[in-house]
Chains A and B, each alone.
Chain A
Amino acid sequence: MSQQQTKNCITLRGSAQIICEYLKFAINSVLFQRGLYPPETFKAEQQYGITLLISEDAQIKNFLTNLLTQSEEWIINKKVSKLSLIIINVANKEVLECWDFNVQYEDGDVALSKEKNETVGSKDLKKIQQEIRDVMLQVAATISYLPFLDCRCSFDVLVHAKTDCDIPDKWAEAKPVEIANAQNVQLKTFSTSLHKMETVVSYKLVD
């Protein structure tokens, strides 16, 4: 899965891969759990020791692949600080929900990094996957308190990048989004020892 040179050795690239794989499953889980798309367009897949659902829609798959390949590159170069998955009401373009995936950069295993002459982490892959599973289970549990999305919805992902980041082809600058009367819920965090991923969901509070 990740590039493991020896046991308990995660390279920067491998860590970025783990992060992007998490993002792929997390975004797909949100799309499924929140009922954005018909459940029959999803396929069950075993990952992190649990069954997760992945969209089979060609356009969604294509969108996520392009997004995540680019994001992975950015994460390796430490250009990205956050990815925001926003859920938009198709009818009035209102942002109903925002899932923030905050990326923090960590030093990893300093001693081992010196030895290998590149930044590496030494966290056990099993432990990382266990942590990711905990987050995934939390994502699945969010439907119990998140408000019902009773409209046709679409989603988008905004990347919060550094100012010196180049804008590649087919990418554009976006406007910051705001949710009126928002509530934030912080989910569990996990770390690959090189990257720390923090997941926060903000939703519009309906009274």
Chain B
Amino acid sequence: MAQFNYLNEINSLATMDGPITRGPLQRWAKKSNSENINPLSTSFKNHSNVNLSSCNQSMQKLSISANQSCNNSVISTNKTPTRTEHKKGKKTPSKNKSPGRSTTPTPNKASKTPNKADRFIPSRSNSNYDLCHYMMSRDDDKNEEVPQSAAGEAIGRALTDTEPGRLLQYTCKAPAAPEGYQNRLRVVYSQAKVPSSVKNTTRYIPQAPDRILDAPDILDDYYLNLVDWSASNILAVALGNSVYLWNAGTGQIEQLCTLEGSETVCSVQWVQGGGSHLAVGTSAATVELWDCEKIKRLRVMDGHTGRVGSLAWNMYIVSSGARDGNIVHHDVRQRDHAVATIHAHTQEICGLKWSPDGKCLASGGNDNLLNIWPIAQGQHYSQTQHLYSFNQHLAAVKGLAWCPWSAGILASGGGTADRTIRIWNIKTGANINTVDTKSQVCSIVWSTHYKELISGHGYANNQLVIWKYPVMTRVAELNGHMARVLHLALSPDGTTVLSAGADETLRLWKCFMLDPSKKKEPTDSKAAKSLLNMNSLIR
């Protein structure tokens, strides 16, 4: 029996602490205290007599009530039974005498009368409080599981739907996303993983634009080419249906032309060598030739069936790429200007560039192809059969740039689904290098002073990135555009890059400035030339 005695004693201790923590129950017991009908209050009475059997009973009852009410937080916070006693201290008769305490509202109002005290601690020295607490807290653990499993059930029900009822579906289903469609959010989700291997350079690159110009109504269209900076330091910008000329030297702005009706300008391209002739591609599928000195249209050349989104000059030949996928070579001197027509792409042509030596024409289209066209024998236009057709890009190829210092090196950039810049050696047809930029590549420009290239990007950061060639490590990132960078242009002196963004701003970045200590060497060649050109412009 000894072991039972011990167990009962433990139980009694546990029970003794139990009711204190359950204030509401206790109060309720007090209010109907005249007769001890309630099993709980009975147990309190018996408790003082250390009636073992009834203690056991009360223990059971209490644990059940705890389960029902799930009001465990009170118990779990009370580490020691003595603490509990002090908190609700009114129960000990001695404390009742202090008047300040008695006026404070307590949950246990009846405690003022000492004869109605619900508890009596017989002997503290005999009580094993540690063990008692252990028993209590063990009980708590069990109780805590109840709401958890209830929540689990709720989740399970939400998923598997155990409710009675039928699950119905409409049999004419909605279609799946189109074949080959790629979630545009890919850019957002993978953007953060960009390796910030920004190489330390000795050169200072300003992180903010040198100037910001307004470009209201610039078309936010990836497939167009709306800015070009001439060798005579005049920037041509197409805004909506008009072409504006901004003299970068003087800051003077002139309006060159405005198209009639709802037609828009789709591309602009200056003639090589600092001349004043500008080719303008329109949505009316024509190529217009303008003399910007006289502000006069010289001729209109047709030959396409879709809008002309890309233009490239090679001597007196202007090549135009259009939405119909054709490239037309126009000889601007002849009456029959269309000297050759090539069925180059199956979709819109958005990138078109002649190599600096005029030997190769690169074209990029919305059919994800990059085609290289060799020059026709003895002519300045290309053959109708391509030299290479690269299909490595997974999106429209718009960014195209030939390396100015290394012949046959071409950089190409793909759209949203591709996001890579690829470097090609056209002499061998090899893809020398590929770098994933994690963002749509809208435009690429090579630096003439450094072994670097700069690319303009779209979603999500709308930044410009300077890359070290040939390793293709990031030199710098230029942030500032609020929307994607649509077009890039390099100033004739090679120091400034202009970026046109869909946020209707043009930003000038002095990212290829020459080191003052090294300045002497290049000035005699390029910079002087551009100065000369600027002087010639002053009319």
Interface residues of A (CB under 8 A from B): 34-39, 57, 59-60, 62-64, 66-67, 70, 81-82, 90, 98, 100, 143, 148-150, 152-163, 165, 167, 170-176, 178-179, 182, 184, 200, 202
Q: Is the CB of B170 within 8 A of A163?
A: no
Binds A, one of B153-161, B198-206, B338-346, B357-365: B153-161
Given known A37-B177, A155-B174, A179-B159, contact A172–B185 (CB-CB < 8 A):
no
Given known A150-B186, A182-B159, A202-B158, contact A172–B177 (CB-CB < 8 A):
no
Given known A148-B185, A150-B186, contact A160–B172 (CB-CB < 8 A):
no
Residues in A with CB closer than 8 Å to B166 are 160-163, 165, 167, 173
| Cβ of A88 to closest chain B Cβ, rounded Å | 8
Given contacts A35-B184, A159-B169, A160-B168, 14 further A-B contacts (CB under 8 A): A34-B185, A35-B185, A37-B178, A37-B181, A57-B175, A63-B174, A143-B185, A150-B183, A153-B176, A154-B174, A157-B170, A159-B167, A172-B168, A176-B167
* Majority SS at the chain A contact face: mixed
Q: Is the CB of B168 within 8 A of A148?
A: no
A-B pairs with beta carbons under 8 Å apart, 19 shown? A35-B183, A36-B183, A37-B177, A38-B177, A57-B175, A63-B173, A81-B163, A81-B165, A148-B189, A150-B186, A150-B189, A152-B179, A156-B173, A158-B167, A160-B161, A160-B166, A182-B159, A184-B158, A200-B158
Chain A residue nearest to B174 (CB atoms) is: A63
Q: Is the CB of B158 within 8 A of A149?
A: no
Residues in B with CB closer than 8 Å to A66 are 170, 172
* Majority SS at the chain B contact face: loop
Given known A81-B165, A173-B167, A200-B158, contact A38–B173 (CB-CB < 8 A):
no
Chain B interface bracket (under 10, 10 to 19, 20 to 34, 35 or more): 20 to 34
Complex Cα gap A98–B163 (Å)? 17
Q: Is the CB of A39 within 8 A of B184?
A: yes
In the assembled complex, B164 has its CB within 8 A of some CB on chain A: yes
| Cβ of B36 to closest chain A Cβ, rounded Å | 43
Q: Is the CB of A160 within 8 A of B163?
A: yes
In the assembled complex, B103 has its CB within 8 A of some CB on chain A: no
Q: Is the CB of B160 within 8 A of A178?
A: yes
Chain A residue nearest to B167 (CB atoms) is: A174
Complex Cα gap A70–B269 (Å)? 58
| Cβ of A116 to closest chain B Cβ, rounded Å | 30
Given known A66-B170, A70-B170, A179-B159, contact A60–B175 (CB-CB < 8 A):
yes
In the assembled complex, B536 has its CB within 8 A of some CB on chain A: no
| Cβ of B350 to closest chain A Cβ, rounded Å | 17
Chain A residue nearest to B180 (CB atoms) is: A152
Taking a contact as CB atoms closer than 8 A, the residue among B164, B169, B172, B176 that contacts A163 in the complex is B164
Taking a contact as CB atoms closer than 8 A, the residue among A67, A70, A162, A182 that contacts B165 in the complex is A162
